[in-house]
Amino acid sequence: KFFKWYDYESWYPLGRPIGTTIYPGMQMTAVAISEVMKKIPELSISTPGWLFAFKPLLNMLRRMGWMHLPKLHKAIAFGPMSINDICCMMPPWFGALASIFTGLLTYEISRSVNAAVMAVGIMAIIPAHLMRSVGGEFDNEAIAVTAIVATFWLWLRSVRTPKSWLWGVPAGLSYAFMVAAWGGYIFVLNMIGVHALMLVLLGRFNSGVHKAYTL
């Protein structure tokens, strides 16, 4: 039905075939999350008692103006969400994942845990990323940034050693997800190609790089 969806109110008076003129990754991801959540049984877990020790601190911070701090409930419940709520929450979810992948990418480059932690913190507060990961910002960039960073990290992980080439499989899947989500996938493809070329020029090309790049 998605690929046959025709919106007669867009591009008036011609209308627009939505399913064949947009990148479908965002919409399909939302539906996939919804279907997975429907298959997970509803559950409720009692909140650990030690967390309530922070309740006075949270109340004090709220009185100081931190009104958006989370509330402590007696139980943590899980259940299916409406597709509207999922679409609203996807940007923060994927924004958190993008920050984590940025930390992994930084660690892969620097081998420094401190640098990785700093990268996660910077990615979590940088305005360019915040504007694409705020709740309700249901746009391609919300998941595309995560896919970009994940692809770069998985690619670097696949060329760490000649035996690491199997990481090229999830790197390829992440790139396919990126292609389905946003038109900027050309940038990812070009950057990986340039990096592979640099490895050749620097004399670091080996069978593992060849297999990873082929995948």
3-class DSSP state of 83: helix
The per-residue pLDDT string of the chain (215 residues; one tens digit each, 9 = 90 and over) reads: 777 888 888 777 788 888 778 888 888 899 999 999 988 888 888 888 888 888 888 888 888 888 878 788 888 888 888 899 999 999 999 999 999 999 999 999 999 999 999 999 999 999 988 888 888 888 888 899 999 999 999 999 998 888 889 999 999 999 999 998 888 888 888 999 999 999 889 888 888 888 888 87
**Backbone torsions φ then ψ of 21, nearest 5 degrees:** -125, 10
| Per-residue model confidence (pLDDT) at position 11 | 78
Separation between Cα atoms, residue 95 and residue 72, nearest integer Å: 24
Separation between Cα atoms, residue 102 and residue 115, nearest integer Å: 10
Q: What is the pLDDT of residues 123-164, one digit of tens each?
A: 999 998 888 888 888 888 889 999 999 999 999 999 888 888
| Per-residue model confidence (pLDDT) at position 181 | 87
CB within 8 Å of 86: residues ≥ 6 apart: 30, 33, 34, 37
Separation between Cα atoms, residue 8 and residue 16, nearest integer Å: 6
| Per-residue model confidence (pLDDT) at position 93 | 93
DSSP structure class, residue 126: -
